[in-house]
Structure 1
Amino acid sequence: MVATQRHAGPVNAENSPSLRPPSPRERFYPRERRSVPAARAFAREALADWGVCGRADDVLLCVSELATNALVHGVPPGRGFLLRLLPGGDGGVRIEVHDSGDGVPAPPRTDGQEPGEGGRGLLLVSELADKWGVGERDPGKIVWCEFAGRGRGFGAEAL
């Protein structure tokens, strides 16, 4: 009798896990201090899974800043924020922080003076990210930023 082995891999190349684009990730965080490092760790894991490493430190810093802004300015007591990470087709990354607070965040004006106690977070985001903005949500808003990729995949050279 001849023994045969069945190949456990995908039958069609289109179904191959290495050819499928990475899936978006999202997680909800409560209004508490430990949510910021937890959001950063969640983002770090997603970037590692996607194979993004070129500008990963900039992405993680922006996750921290946007999460901190949501907690300080956008999340009323008893609520939280949603962090959504979206992979771009070109190897880029979009970060979205959804909160239920009102108001539109803006970096402080830099008219030759150092910003006050607050406001540096959005300055960092505006300098590090390729784009950033604020979208509507009911209730609240979505503060987002994007890092453009340089290639089609999510390899080390992608960001």
Structure 2
Amino acid sequence: MQHEALRELFCRRERRSVGRAREFAREALDAWGWEGARAGDVLLCVSELATNALVHGVPPGRGYLVRLLNEDAGRRLRVEVHDSGDGRPALAPPGGTRPEEDESGRRLLLVAALADTWGVGERDPGKVVWCAFTRGRT
């Protein structure tokens, strides 16, 4: 059950964009037959990565791109969030010193715990933060 292996949504720099990104992902997951706990994990990670982009990676006047790739004949899903901000996100160290670092780092800890793999790639300008899920794996 594979329809369109790639879906993209451009989001403007506004708070409601996180909900739009999540709904966009839900529609794609439904079309691709992803359901259950893995779908819930994907949706939560989309929300966390979109929130990180909105709060830390999108300069005024810019937006971010949410890209979903249904790979390997529908057995793997890759979520990418592209932004044009500087910096490279990292996991928060235990007992972080600054609350704002803790909050963003905790979002990535959640993504790292739920996704099978995740990482940060280069783009000009900015970066792409991604995570991937394998169907049937919990």
Secondary structure (helix, strand or coil) at the match of 1:71 reads helix
Residue by residue over 1:26-66, the C-alpha shift from the partner in whole angstroms, topping out at 9 and shown as x without a partner, is: 01000000000000000000000000013000000000000
Fraction of identical pairs, as percent:
64
Secondary structure (helix, strand or coil) at the match of 2:135 reads coil
- The one of 66, 78, 103 equivalent to 2:87 is 103
Q: As a proportion of its length, which structure holds more strand?
A: 2
Q: Which consecutive aligned stretches of 4+ in structure 1 deviate over 4 angstroms post-superposition?
A: none
Q: 1:49 to 1:134 in 2, by over 3 A?
A: same
1:36 corresponds in structure 2 to 18
1:14 corresponds in structure 2 to none
Q: 1:51 to 1:107 in 2, by over 3 A?
A: same
CA-CA distance at 1:148 after TM superposition: 1.6
One-letter amino acid of the counterpart of residue 74, structure 1: G
- Stretch of structure 1 that moved more, 57-66 or 20-29: 20-29
1:52 corresponds in structure 2 to 34
2:107 corresponds in structure 1 to 121
Whole-angstrom distance in 2 between the partners of 1:108 and 1:120: 6
Whether 2:135 is the aligned partner of 1:149: answer: yes
Q: 1:21 to 1:46 in 2, by over 3 A?
A: closer
Q: Extract unaligned runs of 5+ from structure 2.
A: none
Give the structure-2-normalised TM-score: 0.88
Q: CA RMSD in A?
A: 1.8
Q: As a proportion of its length, which structure holds more helix?
A: 2
1:153 corresponds in structure 2 to none
Count of residues paired in the alignment:
132
One-letter amino acid of the counterpart of residue 52, structure 2: N
Greater radius of gyration (CA) = 1
Secondary structure (helix, strand or coil) at the match of 2:124 reads coil
Whole-angstrom distance in 2 between the partners of 1:74 and 1:130: 23
Residue by residue over 1:5-40, the C-alpha shift from the partner in whole angstroms, topping out at 9 and shown as x without a partner, is: xxxxxxxxxxxxx5x664210010000000000000
CA-CA distance at 1:71 after TM superposition: 0.4
CA contact (8 A) 2:53 2:64 kept: yes
